[in-house]
Chain A
Amino acid sequence: MKSKLSNAFLAILLFGCFVDFPTVQAQEAQVGKLTGHAEQGKPLYRRYCIGCHGPRGDGAGENAPYIDPKPRNFTQATFKCRSTPTGTLPTDEDLYSSVGRGFDNSNMPSWAPLTDQERINLVAFIKTFSPRWKTDKAGTTINIPNEPPVTVQSIQHGHDLFQKLECWKCHGPEGRGDGPSAATLTDSNDQPIRPYNFAEGSRFKCGSTNQDIYRIFITGVDGTPMPSFADVIQPNDAWDLVHFLRTLQVNREGPERALLKSSGTKLQPIQTSSGGGR
């Protein structure tokens, strides 16, 4: 009896040696009535996420060397798609919708085939990789006011802001991601990164609605060169910019381009030679 017990004890000890996972802390995630549990997210993570994000959640999975952009390093707790101000943690809902949406232009697929409960469990588990989730609270979700109607005036003002705020320095005068600073851009891990190419017409990383684009101006895309404009633009300015950016999507027929066409409006090309953007 005694030896059986000690064998069991030894087995547990040995088991501990071979499991390279950090012990799962009691971490939860909450979206509406859904509650995620980290310990239930762990097996899902090992099955679906570990190949890229790695056993330690540091983005160094076995597929990582072959992937660009690199898998997210969860130990840094820096996330691109947030509804919260730059430099703050995202909400559980931000992470949950990222997992469900996937990231266009990257290797991260949509995990919509998993159940809602499985996705929220994964979010809870992802939060065990950084101690920040214990010490910091998620930022306050930014307020997005109602979208004003698309008018020629709004598009024209958005165009002027694109010039004045020097969005073209990275995104290029026609939004093709070929501005003068584009070639030297790196993300916060020193990996080269491309500014978004609006003309290509692919979907946006953090969601494709006008609200999603508005949100990007205010939150910035943390960990990348895209800064937050929260302190420097007013809500109406941001909406005007959204309307103008839609006109750069030459492969997408939307109300903004239709309005330009029907009203016969020709926007001035963005000036890149003055250097000051004034």
Chain B
Amino acid sequence: MQLLKSCTATVTALTFAAILTAAPGGGTVTGKVTYTGTPAKPKPIDMAKEPSCAKQYTTPLMTENVVTGSGNTLEYVVVYISAGAPDESSAPSTAVTFDQKGCHYTPHVLAFQVNQDLKVTNSDQTSHNIHPLAKINREWNKSQPPGTPPISEKYDKPEFISVKCNIHPWMHGWFAVVKTSHYAVSDGSGEFKLPNLPPGKYTLTAWHESYGTQTQEVTISGNETKSANFVFTAKPY
């Protein structure tokens, strides 16, 4: 019996060691997000009411609720492991930054983890109010005049939170609060990459602010790279 116990312990320890060593390598999911149909055209933003911002642009800034690339690719889609992720309870110690510059949020969609530090900075010469319209998390609304220190916050539940500035109604962005470190936001060519996935069966979710969510299952074994593409149906409005 004693022997059996120590055997189990050893095996367990070995398994853990295997998982730990496998974690940094592991498999990868890559893919591309595209759309079918006709998406709404981005509209130019009129910043005449805020000259200190308007003068920073030679051509007007365009709305970002649908940003497309050549070959029908879709930017700002959050792709993340929604089920099966091994690291759902741990938040990284590094902070993410959401900047306000030229009366515009950078990045437009900021993904980060539950309980991860979020810093909101104001690089403008005008006051903003940062008003994330959380429904599951608590809704707060803070003023940030020019030259004031970053606002530090965190969220304790996963949620896609619409962020706005009431003073400059054209400003709009998103906080994508997810439970795992396995997330990515599709880039200008619609591409995303989720590296370091230990072997296992995962549910992959893609979220777009205007076109909703899609999921698919993906199974990773060893160090393989799997491809997973998402196709959203565009709406013309």
CB of A184 within 8 A of chain B? Answer: yes
The smallest C-beta distance from B175 to any residue of chain A, in angstroms, reads 14
- Given A232-B148, A276-B125, do A222 and B50 touch, yes or no (CB 8 Å)? no
Chain A interface size range: 35 or more
Which residues 130-171 in B have Cβ within 8 Å of A in the complex?
A: 130-131, 133, 135, 138-146, 148-149, 151, 166-169
Q: Whole-angstrom distance between the alpha carbons of A230 and B169 in the complex?
A: 23
Q: Tell me whether B142 and A228 are in contact (CB under 8 A).
A: yes
- Given A181-B167, A276-B125, do A228 and B145 touch, yes or no (CB 8 Å)? no
Q: Whole-angstrom distance between the alpha carbons of A3 and B101 in the complex?
A: 76
Partner of B49, one of A180, A230, A274: A180
Q: Tell me whether A165 and B127 are in contact (CB under 8 A).
A: yes
CB of B126 within 8 A of chain A? Answer: yes
Q: Tell me whether A222 and B166 are in contact (CB under 8 A).
A: no
Q: Tell me whether B133 and A165 are in contact (CB under 8 A).
A: no
Q: Which residues of A contact B50 (CB under 8 A)?
A: 275
Partner of B133, one of A181, A188, A226: A188
Q: Which residues of A contact B125 (CB under 8 A)?
A: 276, 278
Q: Tell me whether B140 and A222 are in contact (CB under 8 A).
A: yes
Q: Whole-angstrom distance between the alpha carbons of A166 and B145 in the complex?
A: 8
CB of A236 within 8 A of chain B? Answer: no
The smallest C-beta distance from A184 to any residue of chain B, in angstroms, reads 4
Q: Tell me whether B145 and A227 are in contact (CB under 8 A).
A: no
Partner of B167, one of A166, A220, A231: A166
Which residues 32-49 in B have Cβ within 8 Å of A in the complex?
A: 49
CB of A87 within 8 A of chain B? Answer: yes
CB of B129 within 8 A of chain A? Answer: yes
Chain A residue with Cβ nearest B52: A276
Which residues 71-123 in A have Cβ within 8 Å of B in the complex?
A: 76, 78, 85-88
| Chief secondary structure at chain B's binding surface | loop
Q: Tell me whether B133 and A229 are in contact (CB under 8 A).
A: no
Q: Which residues of B contact A150 (CB under 8 A)?
A: none
CB of A51 within 8 A of chain B? Answer: no
Q: Whole-angstrom distance between the alpha carbons of A278 and B127 in the complex?
A: 10
Q: Tell me whether A166 and B51 are in contact (CB under 8 A).
A: no
- Given A180-B49, A275-B52, do A86 and B126 touch, yes or no (CB 8 Å)? no
Q: Which residues of B contact A224 (CB under 8 A)?
A: 141
Q: Tell me whether A228 and B51 are in contact (CB under 8 A).
A: no
Q: Tell me whether B151 and A231 are in contact (CB under 8 A).
A: yes
Q: Which residues of A contact B135 (CB under 8 A)?
A: 76
| Contact pattern, A 136-149, Cβ under 8 Å of B = 1, otherwise 0 | 10000000000000
Q: Whole-angstrom distance between the alpha carbons of A227 and B51 in the complex?
A: 22
CB of A207 within 8 A of chain B? Answer: no
The smallest C-beta distance from B53 to any residue of chain A, in angstroms, reads 8
Q: Tell me whether A181 and B126 are in contact (CB under 8 A).
A: no
CB of A277 within 8 A of chain B? Answer: yes
Q: Tell me whether B143 and A185 are in contact (CB under 8 A).
A: no
- Given A165-B127, A181-B167, A276-B52, do A228 and B148 touch, yes or no (CB 8 Å)? no
Q: Which residues of B contact A277 (CB under 8 A)?
A: 126-127
Q: Tell me whether A222 and B139 are in contact (CB under 8 A).
A: yes
Q: Which residues of A contact B140 (CB under 8 A)?
A: 85-87, 220, 222, 228
CB of A52 within 8 A of chain B? Answer: no
Partner of B142, one of A76, A86, A223, A278: A86
Q: Tell me whether B143 and A87 are in contact (CB under 8 A).
A: no
The smallest C-beta distance from A61 to any residue of chain B, in angstroms, reads 21
CB of A225 within 8 A of chain B? Answer: yes
Q: Which residues of B contact A76 (CB under 8 A)?
A: 135, 139
Q: Tell me whether A229 and B143 are in contact (CB under 8 A).
A: yes
- Given A188-B133, A275-B52, A276-B52, do A227 and B141 touch, yes or no (CB 8 Å)? yes
Known: A227-B166, A275-B126. 14 other contacts (CB 8 A): A76-B139, A164-B145, A166-B126, A166-B127, A166-B167, A181-B49, A220-B141, A222-B139, A225-B166, A227-B130, A231-B144, A231-B151, A276-B52, A276-B126
- A-B complex: 8 closest residue pairs judged by Cβ atoms: A87-B140, A225-B166, A275-B51, A227-B129, A227-B143, A276-B52, A184-B169, A87-B138
- Chain B residues with CB under 8 Å of chain A are 49-52, 125-127, 129-131, 133, 135, 138-146, 148-149, 151, 166-169
30 contacts between A and B (CB under 8 A): A76-B139, A78-B139, A86-B142, A87-B138, A88-B138, A170-B166, A180-B49, A181-B166, A181-B167, A181-B168, A184-B169, A185-B166, A186-B169, A188-B139, A220-B140, A220-B143, A223-B139, A224-B141, A225-B131, A225-B167, A227-B130, A227-B166, A228-B140, A231-B144, A231-B151, A275-B52, A276-B51, A276-B125, A277-B127, A278-B125
